[in-house]
Structure 1
Amino acid sequence: MRVADPQEVRAHLLAAATAGTALTYSEVLERLGHRFTRPKMRALCKTLAAVDEAAEAAGEPELAVLVVRQSDGLPGQGWWTGSWEKHRFTGEWTGPAAHQLIDRLQRQAFDYWQARNGN
């Protein structure tokens, strides 16, 4: 199942980071050849965690933060619960403070990968 392939998922996230754009869960699943379903999204979230673990080990900025809900442009609950310890964010997972954190983390990924890829 392509959704469980960290290298393929990472490749899509690197392309998004280099382009300076976030992707919705549906867009990532579509690029992997799947339509959006809750089970596919849960499988994708597990893969995103593996992608971020590898990025952290390599000293790279996280990439899972680039995958967001279409409704509000923020990552889903799994991202928030999985990254709480790293970011110590204690606010609501929606609203201005959440957007501020996500904007900062996405900007780090965009800046890093655009510089590495000559953009």
Structure 2
Amino acid sequence: MDDLATVPLSDVAHVRAVLIASARGGRAMTYSELLDALGHRFSRPKMRAVCKTLDAVDDAARARGEPELAVLVVRKADGLPGQGWWVGGRPERLGYAGPWSGPAAEAFVAERQRLAFDHWARRPAA
């Protein structure tokens, strides 16, 4: 890892492609799995950097009328997106104003993930 096969953490197109593949497979991925798919070892600074790219991926998805994809990237510990996903008004924009953990958060995240899974399962692979 962290060699010539690494993908820049700011590569929106590549991160989007990884997330679309995850959505087509009907599964979320952990932050560590995403970083690994990009050729990086997990570290908090790299996680924060890729979170900025996730925001750009979601901005582009909204512009295309597609479901957001960052919701597919979750913490290993509880299967929910990290704090960065919850702040900045994203859940409120999507109609959710509840807690960041617990049954209500889990149901909301599962609903948003299902939208991405269903959307990408119906699209032909490029």
TM-score normalised by length of structure 1: 0.94
For residues 100 and 30 of structure 1, what CA distance do their matches in structure 2 show?
27
Contact 1:61 1:112 in 2 (8 A): yes
C-alpha distance in 1, partners of 2:87/2:96? 10
- Compare the two structures and name the one with the higher helix fraction: 1
Return 5+ residue gaps in structure 2 as ranges.
1-6
For each residue in 1:38-95, what CA deviation from the matched residue of structure 2 results, as whole angstroms up to 9, or x when unmatched?
A: 1100000000000000000000000000000000000000101131331242221111
Where does residue 17 of structure 2 map in the other structure?
Answer: 11
Structure 1 residue 16: deviation in Å?
0.3
The answer on 1:26 being equivalent to 2:13 is no
Choose the corresponding residue for 1:98, options 86, 100, 105: 105
Following superposition, the deviation at residue 10 of structure 1 comes to: 0.3
1:3 Cα deviation (Å)?
1.0
Code of the aligned partner of 2:72:
L
Deviation above 2 Å: which 4+ runs of structure 1?
Answer: 87-90
How many residue pairs get aligned? The number is 118
1:85 alignment partner AA = E
Selected match of 1:45 from 51, 62, 66: 51
Aligned with 2:115 (options 81, 86, 108): 108
Q: Which runs of 5+ in 1 are unaligned?
A: none
Could you tell me whether the CA contact under 8 Å between 1:18 and 1:117 is conserved in 2? no
The whole-number CA distance in structure 1 between the counterparts of 2:63 and 2:53 is: 16
Distance (whole Å) between structure 1 residues aligned to residue 91 and residue 24 of structure 2? 26
Identity among equivalent pairs (%): 59
Normalised to the residue count of structure 2, the TM-score between the two structures is 0.89
What amino acid maps onto 2:66 in structure 1?
Answer: E
Per-residue Cα deviation, 1:7-61 (whole angstroms, up to 9, x for no partner): 0100100000000000000000011011111110000000000000000000000
